[in-house]
Amino acid sequence: MKKIYPILVFLLSFSGFINAQSYEIYKGDTINVIDNNNFKQGYWIKHKPYSEEKITEGNYIDGKKEGLWKSYYSNGSLKSEITFRHGEKYGKAKIFFENGNIAEEGVWLIDKWVNKYKAYYQNGKLSYAWNYNEYGTRSGYQKYFYENGKIKIEGEWEDGKEKGIIREYYPDGSIRSEKVFNKGKTETDSIVIYEIKEKVVTKSDDQSEQKDTTEIHFKEPDSLGIFEGNGHHIFYNKYKKTDKEGIFDNGYLIDGKQYFYDEKGTLIKTAIYKDGKIIKTVSEQIN
C-alpha cells in the first residue's frame, strides 16, 4: 500500500525545490509539489481517490506540463504517451488500445498531426500509414491496409486531396482498380477495374453440329483470383452489363472490347483491342 503524506511547508528547501507550499511523498520520492506562487512543479502523479490506481503522470514547470506525460486505463495498462512543451501537446505522441497494442502514433503539434502518422488495428496490424504537411493536412504518399496486413489503397495526396494514380487492392493483394485523380476528383476516363475470379458457364447448342465455345463469366465478389483462360469469353460486371468480350490468350484480351461504366452503371467509354493492344477508344456522349 502506498503512503502519501500531504504536508504544508513554508520556506522549506528540499530536493531542489525552494519555498514549497505543499508536496507529497510517494515511495520515498517527493512528488506533486506546489510552490509559493501556487505553481505546480516537478513530477506529478494523479491517482484515483483512495486508490493505488494511476490516472496520469508527468512533469510540471511553473504550472505547465513539460516533456513526456502518460495516462492509464482503469486496468492499469498504458493509454497514451504525449509530449508537452510549455503546456501544449507538442511532439511525439502514442495512443494505445486497452489490450496494450498501439492504436496511433505520430507527431502532434498543439491541435494537429504533422509528418508521418500511423494507425493500427487492435490485433497490432497496420491500418494506415499517412503523411501530413506542417498545416495538418494530408500530403504525400498514403497507404491503407486490410486487417490481414495486405495493402488496400495507396497513392499520392496533396493538400488533403487525392492526386495522380490511386490504386486499390483486393484482400489477397491482387490489384482491384486504378484511378487518376485531379485535385480530389476522379478523371472518369482513367478508371481501370481489374477482374476478380469468375464463375464459368459454357454455352452449347445441342441441335447444332457446331458448338458455340463462348464462355460467359459472372463476377463472384467472395471468390478472388486471376483469370487465365483462352478462347472467346464474355464478362459481366455487377450491373449485369458486358465488361469485356472477345478472344483471350492466357487471360489477356487479344481481340475484342472492354467497356467502362460510371458509378451509376452508365457506359462512358469503350476500348477496342487488336493483337493485344488498344487501337481505338470510343467515349460516349453523356447528357
Domain boundaries, the chain: 196-287
Looking at residue 19, what is its pLDDT?
Answer: 59
- At residue 228, the pLDDT reads 61
Residue 4 in this model has a pLDDT that exceeds 80: no
Mean pLDDT computed over 159-164? 94
Beta bridge partners of 113: 108
**Average pLDDT in the 31-53 region?**
92
Letter for the amino acid at 76?
G
**String of DSSP letters for 55-71:** EEEEEEETTEEEEEEEE
More confident residue, 11 or 276: 276
Angle 168-174-176 from CA coordinates, rounded to 5°: 35
Contact at 8 Å (CB) between 80 and 65? Answer: no
Q: Which three cell numbers mark 26?
A: 510517494
Q: What is the DSSP string of 178-190?
A: EEEEETTEE-GGG
Residue 12 or 170, more confident: 170
DSSP one-letter code for 191: -
- From the CB of residue 282, how many other CB atoms can be counted at a distance below 10 Å? 11
**Contact by Cβ (8 Å): 107, 94:** no
d(CA 83, CA 58): 10
DSSP per position, 8-49: E-SS--BTTB-SEEEEEEETTEEEEEEETTS-EEEEEEEE-T
**Residue that wins the pLDDT comparison between 198 and 156:** 156
Q: What is the DSSP letter of 284?
A: P
**Each residue's pLDDT tens digit, 215-229:** 555 443 333 344 566
Judged by DSSP in three states, 1 sits in coil
- pLDDT for the residue numbered 159: 94
pLDDT for the residue 225: 40
Q: What is the pLDDT of residues 180-216, one digit of tens each?
A: 999 888 887 778 888 765 444 443 344 333 444 455 5
The confidence score (pLDDT) of residue 39 equals 94
Q: Kindly indicate the confidence band of residue 254, based on its pLDDT and cuts at 50, 70 and 90.
A: confident
Per DSSP, 3 falls in state -
CB 22 within 8 A of CB 9: yes
Which is it for the CA torsion 3, 8, 12, 17, positive or negative? positive
CA angle 64, 68, 69 (to 5 degrees): 70
String of b and e for 38-66 (b: at least 16 CB within 10 Å)? Answer: eebbbbbbebeeeeeeeebbbbbeeeebb
pLDDT value at residue 230:
75
3-state secondary structure of 275: coil
